Each structure stands twice: as C-alpha cells, then as structure tokens.
C-alpha cells in the first residue's frame, strides 16, 4: 500500500515552485516552502496570494477557502524546517551543481525515509541522486507550467530509484488530481524531448524573418488546435529556462534540432525572459 504523504516541502519558489506549493495546498497537504532569502520568500508568497486571489475573483473558491489554503503553507528560509516532511520537491533554477548541493543538504536534514524529488525539466536524476546518501529515495517529479492547471506530472526513475518510491509518488500525483506518466532518466523525459525541437524550430522561423511572431503563433494555435502558439508558450516557460533545457538536451543528443537558436542568448542577455520579466517575444502589463 502506498504511504500516506501528508506533510511536504518545496524548495525554490519561482514560477514553478510557487505553483507546486499551490497544487499541494489545494489538495489539503501541509506545506513547508523554503527559499534562499526573505525577498525570494516574499515573491513566492506574493505569487501564491495572487494566484489564489484570482481564483476567488473568478468565484472558484471562497475567501475562507483561500485563507485555509494559505494557512496550510509555512514559508521560511531555513532548510532545517524540512526535517519532518514526508517528501520534498526541489524547484530551483536548472543548474546541476546547485541542485546537487541542495540535495546534499536535504539528505542531512530530512528523516531517512523522506522522498527527495526534483522538478528538473531535463537534468539527470541519477547525477542529482548520487549527491545524497539515499539515491534509492530520489526521483523526478516534473510538473508543467502553469502547475495548478496542467494535468500531467512526469515521474522519473533512475536505475537505482526504489520501486516503492515510484509507487508512492504515482499515488501522490493521483491524490493531487493529476495524471502520472513514468519515464526513465533521459534528457527531456517524454514531453520536453518532443516539445522543445518544435519550439526551437519556431524561433528559427522568427529569427530569419520568415514570418511574424503573431503569424507563427496563429498558425499553430488556429491551424493545429494548440492552446497557444510556440512563441507565446516560450514566454510562459521563460526564455532562460527554455535555453537551459535545450542546451542540456543538445549536450546529450547532439541533435541540431536542440541546439538553442542564437536569439535566445541575445534576448536573455537583454533581460527579455518572457512573462516573468514583463517582456519576451511579446510585452506584458
């Protein structure tokens, strides 16, 4: 029988981490949410308050529901607060050294049976796992943006992940009202391995002035029935995150399809990161 996971932790409260906190808290779980400093904690808290506030404004939840949800989340900067949780999801930026350092720290503070999960989009779960003394309890738990809306969670098992751990995480995903797919440890897993070649190709059309951004997006949205066009989707994902994912996949596959188009670096250098910085391929209020 799957273990009953009641208390969870989330490390990193950017777009994905804050969204994952919301998913857990909406399902009635108690969440310890950790960031590196007070400013980052305030941003994460603001994200959660804003998102649940919009749900109140749309009549999806009441103000009392929102308050109960917020009360279930305990914010802070101390990783030590994760000592008693059953599972931690790490959602910090896509840098292997940073993730390995955090997993090393989590391994020291969390009880031995705690499952340590990474929300990485493309980095190796195996390389993260071996930074701990419990590689069998390390797994990938990959949510999609926006986490409160997208139904899928990819569960990534390394060659040493214990089957019980995979079973427990799959059961948790279902408890969250989401759908799990299980996949081995290969850059991009399933969805990003298929999606990012397409997104990179769209950027190449844009870069060569082959068509306007609006027409590229309209073609895929209206011609192919996708919820949004590729350039609008890149703005949602964040150009820095998309670049890291492509770069990791390219390093592993050496497939030119995944070689990040030059305009990514130029836009990132200019601070055009997409929605999170107010400007990417499009401008946001």
Residues of this chain that bind ligand CAA (CB under 6 A): 51, 54, 58, 60, 121, 144-146, 148-150, 192, 227-228, 233, 237, 241
Smaller CB distance to ligand CAA: residue 112 or 225? 225
| DSSP labels, the chain | ------EEEEE--SHHHHHHHHHHHHTT-EEEEE-SSHHHHHHHHHHHHHHHHHHHHTTSS-HHHHHHHHHTEEEES-GGGGTT-SEEEE---S-HHHHHHHHHHHHHHS-TT-EEEE--SSS-HHHHHTTSS-GGGEEEEEE-SSTTT--EEEEEE-TT--HHHHHHHHHHHHHTT-EEEEEES-TTTTHHHHHHHHHHHHHHHHHTTSS-HHHHHHHHHHHH--SS-HHHHHHHH-HHHHHHHHHHHHHHH--GGGS--HHHHHHHHTT--BGGGTBSSSB--
| Smallest separation, CB 191 to ligand CAA (Å) | 6
Catalytic residue status for 121: yes
Catalytic residue status for 74: no
| Smallest separation, CB 238 to ligand CAA (Å) | 8
Catalytic residue status for 154: yes
| Smallest separation, CB 167 to ligand CAA (Å) | 24
Q: Which of 121, 122, 124, 200 is catalytic?
A: 121
| Smallest separation, CB 1 to ligand CAA (Å) | 31
Smaller CB distance to ligand CAA: residue 2 or 228? 228
Smaller CB distance to ligand CAA: residue 51 or 182? 51
Q: Which of 22, 35, 90, 154 is catalytic?
A: 154
Smaller CB distance to ligand CAA: residue 99 or 134? 99
Catalytic residue status for 127: no
The residues annotated with a catalytic role in the active site are: 121, 142, 154, 192
């Amino acid at each position: 029988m799957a273990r009953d996971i009641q208390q969870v932790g989330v490390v990193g409260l950017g777009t994905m981490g804050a969204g994952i906190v919301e998913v857990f808290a909406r399902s009635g779980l108690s969440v310890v949410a950790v960031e590196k400093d007070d400013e980052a904690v305030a941003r994460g808290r603001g994200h959660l308050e804003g998102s649940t506030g919009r749900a109140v404004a749309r009549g999806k939840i009441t103000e009392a529901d929102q308050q109960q949800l917020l009360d279930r989340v305990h914010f802070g900067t101390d990783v030590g607060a994760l000592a008693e949780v059953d599972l931690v999801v790490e959602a910090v930026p896509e840098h292997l050294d940073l993730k390995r350092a955090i997993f090393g720290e989590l391994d020291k503070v969390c009880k031995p049976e705690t499952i340590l999960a990474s929300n990485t989009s493309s980095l190796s779960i195996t390389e993260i796992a071996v930074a701990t003394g419990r590689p069998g309890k390390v797994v990938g738990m990959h949510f999609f943006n926006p986490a409160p809306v997208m139904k899928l969670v990819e569960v990534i098992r390394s060659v040493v992940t214990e089957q019980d751990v995979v079973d427990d995480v799959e059961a948790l995903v279902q408890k969250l009202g989401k759908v799990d797919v299980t996949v081995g440890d290969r850059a991009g897993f399933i969805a990003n391995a298929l999606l990012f070649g397409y997104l990179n190709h769209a950027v190449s059309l844009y870069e060569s002035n082959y068509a306007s951004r609006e027409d590229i997006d309209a073609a895929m949205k209206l011609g192919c029935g996708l919820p949004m066009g590729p350039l609008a989707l890149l703005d949602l994902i964040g150009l820095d995150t998309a670049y890291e994912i492509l770069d990791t996949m390219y390093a592993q596959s050496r497939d030119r399809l995944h070689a990040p188009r030059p305009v990514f670096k130029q836009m990132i250098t200019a601070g055009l990161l997409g929605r999170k910085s107010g400007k990417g391929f499009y401008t946001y209020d």
